[in-house]
Every structure is written in structure tokens, then in C-alpha cells.
Amino acid sequence: MIERLIQPVSTFAGDIDQLFFGIHMVVGFWFFLVQGMFFYLLFRYRYREGVPTTYVTGKEKHLKKWINIPHILIILCDVGVIFFAVQTWYNVKQNLPEADATIRIVSQQWAWSFVHPGEDGELGTDDDIKTVDELHVQEGMTYHFQLESRDVLHSFSVPVFRLKQDAVPGRVITGWFEPMHTGVYDIQCAEMCGIGHGIMGARIHIESAEDHAAWIASKKGT
Amino acid sequence: MSEPASTHHAHGHGAHDDHHHEENFFLKYFWSTDHKVIGMQYLLTGMFMALFGGFFPYVFRMQLAFPGISVPFYGVVSPTEYNALVTNHGTVMIFWVAMPVLIAAFGNYLIPLMIGADDMVFPRLNRLSYQVFAVSVVVIIASFLVPQGGFGGAWTAYPPLSANPDYNLTPWGSTLWLVAVALEFIAFLIGGINFITTAMNSRAPGMRWSDVPMVVWMICIASILFMASVGPLMAGAVMLAFDQNLGTHFFDPKAGGDPILWQHLFWFFGHPEVYVVLLPATGIVAEVITTFSRKKLFGYKTILYTAIGTGVLSFFVWAHHQFIAGIDPRMANVFTVTTVLISIPIAEMMFLFIATLYGGSIRFKTPMLWALSFIALFMIGGVTGIPLGASGSDIYLHDSYYVIAHFHYTFFPIAIIGSFTALTYWFPKMFGRMMNETLGQVHFWITAIAVNGIFIPLFVLGAAGQHRRIYNYNHFAQLSTPDLQALRILATVSLVILLLAQFLFLFNFFYSMFFGEKASKNPWKGCTLEWTTESPPGHGNWPADQLPTVYRGPYEYGVEGRDEDYWPQNVPN
């Protein structure tokens, strides 16, 4: 469902979209079933002249099963939802695959600064490339990011990646992503960070290997 | 257990009785210890605050639909004002509308009447509760009027933004906001003690626990949840106030503090708080659907267990608000399990409400329409909680408009529909007159349809990646498309229709109060005790020698072999 509204551009975006779809199918089934029952009962037992109400306590076995069976089925559905939710979570947030490159993301009121490894592919060396509000990555590469904040809470959110991570001052939070397609997409701050929160955006440029190498070369010596 | 009527009358009033005949206006309304007067004051204060809470979204939704325009009756919205408006919409609606109306107003008004007591057991504490609440109202309103304006750091007030005026730029607004919230908590702690003690000690002779009407149970359970959860947040609020004003560093990472600590303290309270307002609303719905379907509640005790189960579980789910906040990612797995499991008792409760309709004789009067719409709409809020509680999909949905749509589908039914259910149902008892049925139905249908026009578009916007608390989406290329803007306009137009429809209600409310048809003691033919006294009840609720005695449960509708289809609790046979 989500992919119709916004393109999936990271390797795990499809998993999250599927989880979203799957959960909506399960809860949608229950929702329409129960609403259907609800409106049926409202129609069936509407007030009619001369038709008396019945005395039912809820302890009758033949009626209780209408509650108890769905109750058990809901527990089963919950187990399924939990299983797939945890699996997706584990792959996105807990189990970080080996990185091809690492970038640093520093948030502050109200801008993003990005530190990219230069030609040597290593972060923390002299040829690091620093940019503001524009992140350059190469498609098909696995990135680790080290997320920091200089002042208040921010949140690094790339909707096309289905990725979001809060930045907390005093901590360095590591995460990962692997872009799949080239293109330019939005980065938003997703945690209220003050007056400029509404303009704290940046752009992520996903480039092919050649374009990315050319970009790195163009930044040499800056 | 239950004391004889004469003794509980004595301790209910005591010293207060000797002067109540010579009350002047000031003593009657500003110093009254009558639970009905206090309940009414909470109600009117809550309705007054709803004017603010309702006006704010009108302003910020106009800004979202038509960025940069001068909003009629307001003007151009600056980013600072936008933040203050969204922050205080949430704060006011939860702490100054939902809590005072659902818990304090109806708790105060209904508990003594429904358990057959002449007043609360601590009438003066009750008065103190309202006085403290009234001060908190003044403080929160003052927080908009101070230099630099109201607090705009979201209703969750996460530090370091909320703790440091250099970051939030509202040194006065943020402190006053915090003081107001803390005062409001004190008021509700005092009120909660009173509700629980009254329900435990002042029940009419013969009223067993299983004869207590569901709404009384629910308000008591909610009060217990509130008392058990608010302590950590009070401590947090004091720490945050110190950080703001005294230079401490509890939440300041630069000096060794931890901003995440606040999130734990806040949400440890904040999630049970959802159920603190939900449970009274479900109690109200239980009263109304039984009366208007002429049915006994299906599984009274099971409903009670689901409420208690939900309440207990609600203490173990708070960190689902923090999945991506920088907590250890392994923690998310634990909280996913608890969060998804809370669907079980709540779904069961909804099933039981629906099952109550089975075999009934359903009359679609205004209160019943509201109660039914609560069930229908709350279910949307319920099922859309699952993708948010599931950690994997929350990575994407967190802090998006999907969240906003989800919790408004819970809070709108709770705070707005729950309140309308109760108001339209108990109006004849409170004011001795009937509300206009036609106006009531028109108001219902416009409101119930328009609310979907607001929040269904927000689900779509959230799924499309739109984040919360952003005052103009034109700054984001992917969000400034005409399709998404059309959805924003649809939501805003629906909101304006919904707000305009509320004037119908206000007219009906105040007109009927003075000119409505006179109500009998028991216009809906209900079984519970409040319908056995005059409408409106006099001081002391029942004449001192006629306090009711209870012989059976609260929902004996359609008992076979009786002439009438209802059997009031106080009728011996």
C-alpha cells in the first residue's frame, strides 16, 4: 500500500511495506467482520412495536462462544503480527550488515551536516567531505551512519528508505541503509526541535558509482 | 461494607449541613461542597477550555491547507505560533477537556447519585480539587499571553528543547505550561482519592460490588491508574522545572544528564493516561447501550476484567513511544509484545459491547447514536494502533500523520463522543429538562461524518511520509504535490464543518437548559439509582429519610414475567 504513495528506495523498504500491508490485511479482516456484525445486530434488533427484549446475562454457553472463539483467534493473529514485526525490526535496527562505507550525520537547530568519506573510503581522514543539508551516497552500497546531535533531539528520517532514527545529544547512534535506486529524495527532521523544525529538511542524492566518484573528485581539496 | 443510610448521611455532610440554608451566591457557587455543583463547574470549565482546544486546530489546519494566508479571526501564523498552537491543542484537549469532563465532571456528578450516597465522602477535598484545577486553567491561559508566547515544544515536552530557553525561546511559556500541568495533576490526584474512597465506602445498603454501575467502576479504575502512574511524571516535572529555572542538569547531556530519562518518566504516565480517559468513556457507553437496547450488559464481570487487564497491561507498554528514540533496540521487541497484546482485552471489551445489542430492542435516540458511533469509530483507532505497536512498521510510521490519525480515532471517540454521549444522556437529570432531539440528531450526523473527513486523509498523508508538527510542507519537494495538498484541504474543510456543527450543540445545550421540555425522574426508563430521584436532584440527592436501598444489579432489563421491561435497582420486588 505504501509503495503506491511513495517509492521504496532502500533494501529494507520493501520489507516494511510488506509488514504494513500484512498487518492491514489482518486487522482489516477483523475490522470489517466486527463492523459487519455490529451493523447487522443494530438492524436485526431495532425497536419494533410489540417485540420484547430478551434477558441474556452473557453466561450462556451457546452465546459465550461468540466471544471466546474470536478471542483465541485474535491471540493467534497477535502472535503472527509480533513475529513479523520483530523479524523486520531485527533486520533494520538490530542486525547491522557489514558496511561498505560509513558516514557521519550531525544534526543541530536547524540544519543537517554530513561527513562523507573521501577517495580513501575512510571516515576521519583529511579527505573527508563535509556538506550541509545534502547527503551523497552511492546506490548498491551498504552504509553505516553515525548519528549525533549538537543541541536538542532531532530525528533523521528518509521516507523513501522507510528509515527513521532519533538523534540524541551526548550519544552517537549507529544505523544502516542500502540505497537501491538513483535519484534525489527528501530528508526530514521528524522530532520537534524548535521554531525551525518545519524547515529542517535536507536532500539525499543517490548516485551511480561513476557519478558518485565524479562528485567525490569534484570535492577534492575543498 | 454498606453502611446504614443514616450514618453515611451524617459523615457525608457533617459540619457543612448547619449553614447550607443561608448560602449566598458566592458561597453557593464558589465555596459549595455539593458534588453536583462541583461536577457542573468542572463540566462548564471543560467546555470553556474546549473552545480554545477547538479553535487552535482551526488555525493550524487553515495554515496547512492554505500556507501563509491570513487566517480569518486569527491572522498570519508564524512558525513559533504554529508550534505553540499544536502543542497546546494536545495539552488542552487532554488535560483540560477530556480529564475534567469525562472524569471530574461525570465522576463527581454521577458517583454519589449512582451508588445512592448524598455526597462524596470528602466534600471539602472535592472543593479543593476544583479550586486547584481552576488555578491551573488560569496558568495555562496565562502561558499564551506572556512575552515570547506559549510553549511550543510539543505536548510531550522532550528536553533538552523544553528544558532550555536558549533552545525553545519561550522562557515564560514553557515554565508556565509545566506549572499548569503539574497543578492539574494535583487537582486530579485529590479528586481521584475522593472517587475511590466514595465508591468503596458510601454505597447504598445492599449494593454489592457486582451491583455497581459500570461507569462508576471505570472512573474508579481510571483514578487508580492515574494515581499509580502520575508519581514518576510529577517527579520528572519538578526536575524539568529545576532544569528550566534553577540551572540543574537532570536532562542535560552536556552536564551528564539524560534527555531519554524524561521520555521514560513522561510515557510511563502518558500511556496509562490514554486508558485513564478511555475507561470512563467506555463506562458511559456501557450505561447508554444497555438503556437504549433494553438489555443487560453482556458479561458484566468479563467487561470488568478486560478493563482491569487493560489497565495493568498499560503500565508495560510505554516504550513503544520510544522505539526509535535511541533506546537499546532490543528493548523494542519486549514492548512490541506487550503493546500488541493489549489489543486482546480491548477487542474483547468491544465484542462484549456489541454482543450486548444481541436480542435487544434498540432505540436510536441521540445518546444511543453517540454511544454506537463511539464503538464504530474507536474500532478504527484500535486496529490502526497495531501497525504502530509493531516495531518493524513503526520505524516508518513513527511521528508521521498516520500516528495523528490513529490517536485521533481513539481520542475523538473518547473525549468528544464520550462527552456528548454522557451529556445528552444525563442532561435531563442534570438540568431537569430534555434536549431537543431533532437538533441533537442533526448535530450528531454532521459531527460523526465530518470527523472521518478530517482523519481518513491524514492516514493517507502519513503513509505517504508526511511528518508531524511541520508548519508548511512546501519546504519538502516530495510533500508539496497537488494530490497531497488536496488531502490537506479536504481535512481542513471537514474540520471547519465539524467545528461549525458544534454551535448547534451549544445552542441546544443552553436553550434546552432553560426552555426544554420538562424531564421526568426517569425519562429513559433506566435501572440505575440516579433515575430514582428528582431531576435535577436537590441538595443531598434524596430526602434524608429516603436514601435508596439496592436489591439487584444495574442492568435488569427485559426480565421475564414483569410488566415493565426494566427493574430499577431500588425496587424491592
Element (H, E) at B197: helix B171-201
Q: Is the pLDDT of residue B10 over 70?
A: no
pLDDT digits (tens, 9 = 90+) for B96-152: 999 999 999 999 999 999 999 999 999 999 999 999 999 999 999 999 999 999 999
In the listed set A38, A71, A94, which residue is the last one of a domain according to the structure? A94
Look up the CATH number of the domain holding residue B374.
Answer: 1.20.210.10
Q: To which residue does cell 470527523 refer?
A: B451
pLDDT band of B183, cuts 50, 70, 90: very high
Whole-number Å distance between alpha carbons of B14 and A43: 52
In a domain, B566, yes or no: no
pLDDT band at B11 (very low <50, low <70, confident <90, very high): very low
Considering chain A, what percentage of its residues have pLDDT values greater than 90? 89
At residue A126, the pLDDT reads: 87
**A107 shares its domain with A196:** yes
Domain total of chain A: 2
Mean pLDDT, chain B, whole residue set: 93
Whole-angstrom distance, CA of residue B552 vs CA of residue B208 = 9
CA B236 – CA B156 distance, rounded (Å):
12
* Cell numbers found for residue A214: 565524479
Whether A120 and A127 have beta carbons less than 8 Å apart is answered as yes
Handedness of CA B494, B496, B498, B501 (dihedral sign): negative
Report how far apart, in Å, the C-alpha atoms of A132 and of each of A200, A202, B371 are. Answer: 11, 8, 53
**Residues A87, A112: one domain?**
no
A191–B contact, CB cutoff 8 A: yes
Residue B192 CB burial class (10 angstroms; 0-12, 13-18, ≥19): buried
Is there a single domain that holds both residue A147 and residue A210? yes
Q: How far is A217 from chain B (nearest CA, A)?
A: 28
Q: Structurally, how many domains does chain B consist of?
A: 1
Asked if A191 lies within 8 A of B332 by C-beta distance, the reply is no
Distance CA B334, CA B319 (A): 9
Does the distance separating the beta carbons of A78 and B383 come in below 8 Å? no
Q: The whole model's pTM is what?
A: 0.94
Chain B contact for A34 (CB, 8 A cutoff): yes
Query: Smallest Cα–Cα separation from A34: which of A82, A66, A79?
Result: A66
Cα separation, A82 vs A76, in Å, equals 10
Residue B217 lies in a domain: yes
User: How would you class A71 by CB atoms within 10 Å of its CB: exposed for 0-12, middle for 13-18, buried for 19 or more?
Assistant: middle
For residues A20 and B394, what is the distance between their CA atoms, to the nearest angstrom? 9
pLDDT value of position B544: 87
- State whether B324 and A165 contact (CB < 8 Å): yes
Whether B259 contacts chain A with CB within 8 A: yes
Domain assignment of residue B565, yes or no: no
A88 and A9 within one domain: yes
Q: For residue A30, give the nearest of B354, B383, B464 by CB distance.
A: B383
Given a contact cutoff of 8 angstroms between Cβ atoms, the answer to whether B110 and B216 are in contact is yes
* SS3 assignment, position B150: strand
pLDDT-derived band at B32, boundaries 50, 70, 90: confident
pLDDT score of B4 more than 50 = no
Q: What is the DSSP string of chain A?
A: -HHHHS---BTTHHHHHHHHHHHHHHHHHHHHHHHHHHHHHHHHTB--TT-------S--HHHHHHHHHHHHHHHHHHHHHHHHHHHHHIIIII-PPPPSEEEEEEEETTEEEEEE--TT--TTSTT-EEEESEEEEETT--EEEEEEESSS-EEEEEGGGTEEEEE-TT--EEEEE-B-S-EEEEEEE-S--SGGGGG-EEEEEEE-HHHHHHHHHHTTT-
The last residue of a domain, from among A45, A63, A94: A94
User: A170 and chain B: CB distance < 8 Å anywhere?
Assistant: yes
A187 touching chain B per CB within 8 A: no
Instruction: Tell me the C-alpha distance between B126 and B138, whole Å.
Output: 19
**Assembly ipTM:** 0.96
Q: Give pLDDT, residue B31.
A: 83
Q: Which of A82, A109, A146, A155 is the best substitution to test chain B (most B C-beta atoms within 10 A)?
A: A82
B370 and A CB contact within 8 Å? no
Chain A within 8 Å of B293 (Cβ-Cβ)?
yes
Put simply, the answer to whether B476 touches A186 (Cβ < 8 Å) is: yes
Same domain (yes/no): A40, A138? no
Give the C-alpha separation, A197 to A185, whole Å: 18
State the CB neighbour count (10 A cutoff) for residue B327: 17
- Identify whether B567 is part of a domain: no
CATH number at residue A189: 2.60.40.420
Does one domain contain both A142 and A84? no
Whether the per-residue pLDDT at A72 is higher than 70: the answer is yes
Residue A48 at interface with chain B, using a CB cutoff of 8 Å = yes
Give the confidence band of B466 by pLDDT, cuts at 50, 70, 90. very high
Whether pLDDT at B19 is above 90: no
- The answer to whether position B183 is within a domain reads yes
Q: Which residues of chain A are within 8 Å of residue B360 when distances are taken between CB atoms?
A: 45, 53-54
Claim to verify: residue A24 and residue A75 sit in the same structural domain: yes
Distance CA B114, CA B116 (A): 6
Residue in the structure block whose three cell numbers are 506487550:
B338
Chain B nearest CA to A62, separation (Å): 13
Inside any domain, residue B306:
yes
At B362, phi and psi to the nearest 5?
Answer: -85, 125
Identify the burial level of B493 via C-beta atoms within 10 angstroms of its C-beta, where 0-12 means exposed, 13-18 middle and 19 or more buried: middle
Per-residue pLDDT band for A194 (boundaries 50, 70, 90) equals very high
**What integer is the mean pLDDT of B556-565?**
91
Range of the domain at B470: 5-546
Best residue of B396, B397, B406 to probe chain A, by most A CBs closer than 10 Å: B396
B478/A185 touch (CB, cutoff 8 Å), yes or no: yes
On whether both A88 and A106 belong to a single domain, the answer is no
A33 in reach of chain B (CB within 8 A)? no
Task: Note whether A202 and A146 are same-domain residues.
Answer: yes
A69 part of contact set with chain B, CB < 8 Å: no
Same domain, A132 and A147: yes
Nearest C-alpha of chain A: how many angstroms from B6?
Answer: 34
* Chain B residues with CB-CB distance to A63 below 8 A: 298, 355, 358
Domain match, A161 and A65 both? no
Q: Assess if residue B21 is contained within a domain.
A: yes
Neighbours of B125 (CB within 10 A): 15
Of A42, A169, A173, the CB nearest to B259: A169
In terms of domains, do A22 and A75 share one?
yes
Interface with chain B: mutation pick from A192, A203, A206, highest number of B CBs within 10 Å? A192
Residues of A in contact with B384 (CB under 8 A): 27
Residue B555 belongs to some domain of the structure? no
**Range of A22's domain?**
2-94
- Whether B341 sits inside 8 A of A163 (CB atoms) is no
pLDDT digits (tens, 9 = 90+) for B270-318: 999 999 999 999 999 999 999 999 999 999 999 999 999 999 999 999 9
Pick the residue from chain A with its C-alpha nearest to B386: A23
Whole-angstrom Cα distance, residue A26 to residue A82? 12
Q: Which residues of A, range 125-144, sit inside 8 Å of B by Cβ?
A: none
